[in-house]
């Protein structure tokens, strides 16, 4: 969305059409902001094992992958129909399994493609699309991508973030929640779907956490009811020191603003939002992320001093609590972490990507004009 807004600022006469999953969350959000939306069939290749052979023959993945392969093929044909109807000058692919059928459809119709990779490890869809993309925008330095992409195609743009994230008012949120403005506030995030593992760790030490600090906890809709039930077992004096959200959109900027320390997974989008706001973090990457991209993202931020990294397989509730306690008692280290986190920020990323998109689209339009003249 950040790139779309940047394009609209730079090229007000542009027409933007969004192709996504038929049932994904984007199918509900995009139409509300006035952008034409097409939903297509999608399928992904599940890779729960390091071995390619196991990923193919494992019964837990085999049948799902076969079923999704046919959904993927259907998505390619649906995307081709959409592209023939809309006749776009360019495709911008943000990665993920939804983008691959669109990318293949665009290739078959000789439509230029620009992709963007936000993680340090390129996803399967972006690796495939990169072979025929005109430009490949990347969030991290290009040295991490040259094994998969021709260096001449790579554009270091950073990772676009939502502009509204920068406009939060933490004190205002604390006032609405009846939180103290002078006490430390811990923010717990589990990614877009929540994290059962992180939720269980926090639940195990919830009483000790609330005795010491205020807590904003985004659990994911799946666990929100259970977490609220457990919270209700605590004394009122502690319950009022916590705010539980299943899912949040409009207040997210204020939530970030209120946080003194963040516990989070290590998806690139949240990492670059934390960087833009200079928020120190404890990162617990999802062990089953494709290609271990969350772990590699987290390693980079940890090595820079911006965050602490804990492997899920080795972390206990007690260990996590002691790390939180250590950081909140060491204000100097928190400030250094915040400074290092801020060094990862690139607030111009959206405009960089938008300029590349507009430039390639203009070149395509000019080429089409020359062909017509001939």
Instruction: Give per-residue pLDDT as tens, 131-154.
Output: 999 999 999 999 999 999 999 999
Phi/psi-derived region of residue 234, left when phi > 0, alpha when psi is between -120 and 50, beta in every other case: beta
At 88 the pLDDT is: 95
The phi and psi torsions of 55 (rounded to 5 degrees) equal -60, -30
At 194 the pLDDT is: 55
At 124 the pLDDT is: 87
Looking up residue 35, the CATH number of its domain turns out to be 3.40.50.2000
Who has greater pLDDT, 6 or 104? 104
The mean pLDDT of 354-359, rounded to a whole number, is 95
Q: Measuring CA to CA, how many Å separate 286 from each of 24, 180, 198, 355?
A: 21, 32, 10, 33
Q: Sorting pLDDT into bands at 50, 70 and 90, what band is 191?
A: low
At 24 the pLDDT is: 78
Residue recorded with tokens 């807004």: 5
Mean pLDDT taken over the chain: 90
- pTM, two decimal places: 0.89
Output DSSP code: residue 51. -
Q: Measuring CA to CA, how many Å separate 113 from each of 62, 90, 104, 155, 231?
A: 31, 6, 10, 13, 49
Lowest mean pLDDT among 64-68, 95-99, 144-148, 235-239: 64-68
In terms of domains, do 89 and 154 share one?
A: yes
Six-digit token pair at 78? 């649906």
In terms of domains, do 270 and 299 share one?
A: yes
In terms of domains, do 248 and 207 share one?
A: yes
DSSP letter string over 108-168?
Answer: HTT--EEEEE-SSSPPHHHHHHHTT-SEEEESS-GGGTTTTS-GGGEEE------GGGGG-
In terms of domains, do 155 and 170 share one?
A: no
In terms of domains, do 173 and 148 share one?
A: no
Distance separating alpha carbons of residues 239 and 50, to the nearest angstrom: 43
At 195 the pLDDT is: 85
In terms of domains, do 154 and 201 share one?
A: no
Who has greater pLDDT, 74 or 292? 74
In terms of domains, do 332 and 354 share one?
A: no
In terms of domains, do 176 and 285 share one?
A: yes
Radius of gyration, CA atoms only, the chain: 22
At 115 the pLDDT is: 97
The phi and psi torsions of 293 (rounded to 5 degrees) equal -65, -35
Residue recorded with tokens 């196991």: 54
In terms of domains, do 53 and 180 share one?
A: no
In terms of domains, do 209 and 136 share one?
A: no
Q: Sorting pLDDT into bands at 50, 70 and 90, what band is 373?
A: confident
- 79-117 confidence digits (pLDDT tens): 999 999 999 999 999 988 889 999 999 999 999 999 999
Q: Sorting pLDDT into bands at 50, 70 and 90, what band is 247?
A: confident
Q: Which domain holds residue 72?
A: 2-161+347-373
Distance separating alpha carbons of residues 177 and 214, to the nearest angstrom: 10
The mean pLDDT of 223-227, rounded to a whole number, is 87
- Residues pairing with 19 in the sheet: 38
Domain tally, the chain: 2
Lowest mean pLDDT among 69-78, 219-228, 285-294, 303-312: 285-294
In terms of domains, do 109 and 44 share one?
A: yes
- Strand runs (DSSP E) across 151-283, as ranges? 154-156, 185-188, 214-218, 242-245, 261-264, 281-283
Phi/psi-derived region of residue 106, left when phi > 0, alpha when psi is between -120 and 50, beta in every other case: alpha
- 7-37 confidence digits (pLDDT tens): 888 777 789 999 999 887 788 888 888 899 9
DSSP letter string over 181-195?
Answer: SSS-EEEE---TT--
In terms of domains, do 213 and 82 share one?
A: no
């Amino acid at each position: 969305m950040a790139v779309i807004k940047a394009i609209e600022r730079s090229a007000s006469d542009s027409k933007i059409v969004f192709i996504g999953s038929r049932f994904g969350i984007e199918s509900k959000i995009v139409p509300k902001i006035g952008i034409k939306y097409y939903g297509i069939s999608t399928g992904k290749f599940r890779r729960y094992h390091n071995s390619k052979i196991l990923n193919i023959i494992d019964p837990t993945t085999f049948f799902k992958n076969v079923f999704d392969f046919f959904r993927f093929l259907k998505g390619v044909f649906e995307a081709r129909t959409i592209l023939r109807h809309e006749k776009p000058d360019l495709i911008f692919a943000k990665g993920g399994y939804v983008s691959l059928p669109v990318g293949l459809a665009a290739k078959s119709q000789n439509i230029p493609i620009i992709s963007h990779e936000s993680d340090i490890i390129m996803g399967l869809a972006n690796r495939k699309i990169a072979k025929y993309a005109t430009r490949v925008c990347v969030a991290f330095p290009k040295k991490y991508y040259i094994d998969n992409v021709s260096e001449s195609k790579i554009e270091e743009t950073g990772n676009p973030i939502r502009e509204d994230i920068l406009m939060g008012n933490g004190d205002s949120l604390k006032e609405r929640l009846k939180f103290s403005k002078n006490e430390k506030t811990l923010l717990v995030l589990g990614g877009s779907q929540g994290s059962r593992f992180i939720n269980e760790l926090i639940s195990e030490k919830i009483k000790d956490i609330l005795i010491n600090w205020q807590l904003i906890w985004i659990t994911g809709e799946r666990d929100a009811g259970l977490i609220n039930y457990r919270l209700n077992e605590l004394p009122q004096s502690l319950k009022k020191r916590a705010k539980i959200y299943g899912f949040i959109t409009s207040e997210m900027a204020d939530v970030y603003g209120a946080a003194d320390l963040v516990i989070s997974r290590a998806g690139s989008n949240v990492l670059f939002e934390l960087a833009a706001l200079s928020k120190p973090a404890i990162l617990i990457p999802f062990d089953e992320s494709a290609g271990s991209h969350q772990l590699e993202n987290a390693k980079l931020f940890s090595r820079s001093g911006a965050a602490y990294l804990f492997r899920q397989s080795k972390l206990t509730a007690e260990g996590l609590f002691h790390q939180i306690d250590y950081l909140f008692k060491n204000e100097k280290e928190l400030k250094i972490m915040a400074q290092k986190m801020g060094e990862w920020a690139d607030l111009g990323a959206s405009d960089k990507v938008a300029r590349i998109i507009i430039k390639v689209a203009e070149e395509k339009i000019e080429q089409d004009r020359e062909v017509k003249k001939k």
